[in-house]
């Protein structure tokens, strides 16, 4: 284990349960899912036949939820309306273990709700059709602002760090942030903000740090951030112009740029399969703040936040990341780049879930694939045509010997896996030791199970299981007169 990964593993192990106060704009994210079937007869618009409704915490409440899932003791301060949506947000905070004593009710504003309509075309490939926002951006003021800042300062005194999640919905007024920042500096507490998109960041003056993305930092500094040099220049300018402890710019797939008292550094991230960037910024703020609260320095906190942000984009929607997932990812990065398409079962199942959530169909087939021939290529191409992702279960060497005798396989499971992953039709390969792939099928839960036409539908192993939850069995055509055994016989090897 390298020094960097060892330090990060140690940091995760000593995160403890710091108290974190999150201040900002609480939101409710609502999703309406359905099939986009046709054009309405009433107007030239798509008709969505809704079949599922989902609600999630958003904005500052999303940051708080993420922190709770990471083991922090979390309290949130902000505003909700006196409407049913406000009550729903409070109930969801309760369910997440987040204290909300400092969340005040404002009868003059609605609870902020973002309602997204997600349509599936031909029962798959969901796409957002429209988003409807229920909100006011009126800046909190007067007696309500005074109450909120007083209670926030009171709760900050008991916290190890304060995080500000500013979505420009009116809670993070300049006066409120100025008073809270001054109080935090007096108490020796760090205060970190995820800022709005805008050209004036004066209201964040004196904070410990901020986490703007490249667009936000560019607007605030007037710098066109196109490379490492410009990112570091923007981070430096933010630090110096706003009296920050550290200037930071998040650079999505390029990592983060940091400028502090020792100068500037870029902290890259490893490549990820990006399924959804929603929640990545919230996750970066949550983990960055959690690490600092646990005593980490800025470079270590950034490295850990990079990992958590990367895990978040591999998920669909705003979803929590656990310490166990972070530790597992650190371990994977230490073992080096993944080899092609071969996965172990646990890793495969984790990778398939976000694909399944987007409506993509998982296809599974299996075999020894000892001497790859034209029949195999045709079979795998037909298998892949049944869905969007093809998983091939590959019999291990021991499994092949049990099925075909001591002279087989001719090629090792490693060699067979390399050949399979070179085929465009194959998305993933997973090796199994058993005589049948039934346990793989139960773990993967494919939408389509494929075997050759020499099987009957009732004799396919796992077929009953797949059909029990609405999946189907497909019998693929076989190329006449072609098989590994016949090829070996002609070669005199079997």
Cα within 13 Å of Cα(107), Cβ side: 0
Q: Nearest 5 degrees, angle CA 202-CA 207-CA 210?
A: 80
282, 397, 427, 447: the catalytic one is: 282
Q: What is the 8-class DSSP label of residue 126? A: E
What dotted CATH number matches 3-24+59-105+137-334? 3.40.1190.20
Specify the pLDDT at position 125. Answer: 65
The rounded distance, in Å, linking the Cα atoms of 181 and 190 is 9
Q: Which fold has domain 345-491?
A: Rossmann fold (3.40.50)
- In the chain, where the domains are located: 3-24+59-105+137-334, 345-491
Per the CB < 8 A criterion, the answer to whether 377 and 343 are in contact is no
Dmax (CA) for the chain in angstroms is: 92
> Reduced to 3 states, what is the DSSP secondary structure of residue 268?
coil
Identical fold at 3-24+59-105+137-334 and 345-491? Answer: no
The rounded distance, in Å, linking the Cα atoms of 424 and 389 is 11
- Give CA 170 to chain center in angstroms: 28
| pTM greater than the 0.75 cutoff | no
Per the CB < 8 A criterion, the answer to whether 345 and 93 are in contact is no
For the stretch 5-30, what's the b/e string if a residue is b when 16 or more beta carbons lie within 10 angstroms of its beta carbon? eebbbebbeebeebbbbbbbbbbbbb
The rounded distance, in Å, linking the Cα atoms of 270 and 283 is 17
105 DSSP β-pair partners: 80
Strands 256-260 and 247-250: antiparallel
Q: What is the DSSP string of 132-168?
A: EEE---PPP-HHHHHHHHHHHHHHHTT-SEEEEE--S
The rounded distance, in Å, linking the Cα atoms of 364 and 359 is 16
Specify the pLDDT at position 254. Answer: 85
Specify the pLDDT at position 1. Answer: 46
Specify the pLDDT at position 488. Answer: 66
Per the CB < 8 A criterion, the answer to whether 191 and 184 are in contact is yes
112 DSSP β-pair partners: 27
Strands 73-81 and 99-106: parallel
Q: What is the 8-class DSSP label of residue 494? A: -
CA dihedral 98, 176, 287, 5 (to 10 degrees): -150
Look up 282 and say whether it is catalytic. Answer: yes
Per-residue pLDDT of the chain (494 residues; tens, 9 = 90+): 455 667 888 888 889 899 999 999 999 999 998 988 888 889 888 898 898 898 999 999 999 999 999 999 999 999 999 999 999 999 999 999 999 999 999 999 999 999 999 888 765 667 888 999 999 999 999 999 999 999 999 999 999 999 999 999 999 999 999 999 999 999 999 999 999 998 889 999 999 999 999 999 999 999 999 998 999 999 999 999 999 999 999 998 888 999 999 899 998 877 666 555 566 889 899 999 999 999 999 999 999 998 888 887 666 566 778 888 888 777 766 555 445 788 889 888 887 876 776 677 899 999 999 888 888 899 999 999 998 889 999 999 999 898 888 888 888 888 999 999 889 899 999 999 998 999 999 999 999 999 988 888 888 999 999 999 999 999 998 877 666 666 766 776 54
The rounded distance, in Å, linking the Cα atoms of 85 and 477 is 55
For the stretch 303-339, what's the b/e string if a residue is b when 16 or more beta carbons lie within 10 angstroms of its beta carbon? bbbbbbbbbbbbbbbbbbbebebbeebbeebeeeeee
């Amino acid at each position: 284990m390298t020094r960097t990964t060892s330090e990060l593993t140690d940091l995760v192990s000593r995160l403890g349960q710091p108290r974190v106060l999150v201040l900002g704009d609480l939101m409710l994210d609502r999703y309406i899912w359905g099939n986009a079937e046709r054009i309405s007869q009433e107007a030239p618009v798509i008709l969505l036949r809704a079949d599922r409704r989902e609600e999630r915490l958003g904005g500052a409440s999303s940051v708080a939820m993420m922190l709770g899932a990471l083991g922090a003791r979390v309290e949130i301060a902000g505003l909700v309306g006196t409407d049913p949506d406000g009550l729903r947000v409070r109930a969801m905070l309760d369910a997440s273990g987040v204290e909300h004593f400092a969340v005040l009710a404002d009868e003059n504003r609605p609870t902020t709700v973002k309602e997204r309509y997600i349509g599936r075309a031909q029962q798959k490939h969901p796409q957002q059709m429209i988003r409807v926002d229920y909100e006011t951006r009126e800046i909190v003021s007067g007696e309500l602002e005074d109450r909120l800042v007083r209670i926030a300062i009171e709760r900050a005194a008991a916290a190890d760090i304060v995080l500000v999640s500013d979505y420009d919905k009116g809670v993070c007024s300049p006066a409120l942030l100025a008073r809270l920042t001054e109080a935090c500096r007096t108490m020796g507490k760090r205060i970190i903000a995820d800022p709005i998109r805008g050209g004036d960041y004066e209201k964040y003056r004196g904070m410990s740090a901020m986490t703007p993305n490249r667009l936000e930092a560019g607007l605030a500094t007037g710098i066109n951030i196109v490379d490492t040099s410009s990112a570091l220049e923007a981070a430096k300018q933010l630090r110096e112009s706003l009296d920050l402890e550290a200037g930071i710019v998040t650079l999505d797939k390029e990592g983060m740029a940091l400028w502090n008292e020792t100068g500037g550094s870029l902290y890259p991230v490893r490549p990820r399969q990006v399924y959804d960037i929603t929640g990545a910024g919230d996750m970066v703020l949550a983990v960055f703040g959690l690490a600092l609260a646990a005593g980490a320095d800025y470079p270590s906190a950034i490295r850990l936040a990079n990992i958590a942000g990367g895990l978040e984009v591999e998920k669909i929607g705003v979803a929590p990341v656990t310490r166990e997932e972070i530790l597992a990812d650190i371990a994977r990065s230490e073992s080096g780049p993944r080899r092609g398409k071969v996965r172990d079962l646990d890793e495969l199942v984790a990778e398939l879930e976000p694909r399944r959530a987007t409506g993509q169909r998982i296809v599974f087939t299996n075999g020894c694939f000892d001497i790859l021939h034209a029949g195999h290529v045709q079979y795998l191409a037909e298998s892949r045509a049944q869905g969007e992702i093809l998983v091939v279960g590959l019999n291990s060497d021991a499994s092949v010997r049990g099925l075909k005798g001591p002279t087989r396989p001719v090629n090792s499971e490693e060699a067979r896996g390399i050949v399979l992953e070179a085929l465009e039709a194959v998305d993933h390969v997973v090796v199994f030791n058993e005589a049948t792939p039934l346990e793989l099928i139960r773990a993967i839960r494919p939408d389509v199970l494929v075997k050759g036409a020499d099987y009957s539908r009732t004799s396919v192993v796992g077929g009953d299981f797949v059909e029990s939850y609405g999946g189907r069995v497909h019998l693929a055509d076989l190329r006449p007169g072609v098989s590994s055994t016949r090829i070996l016989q002609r070669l005199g090897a079997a």
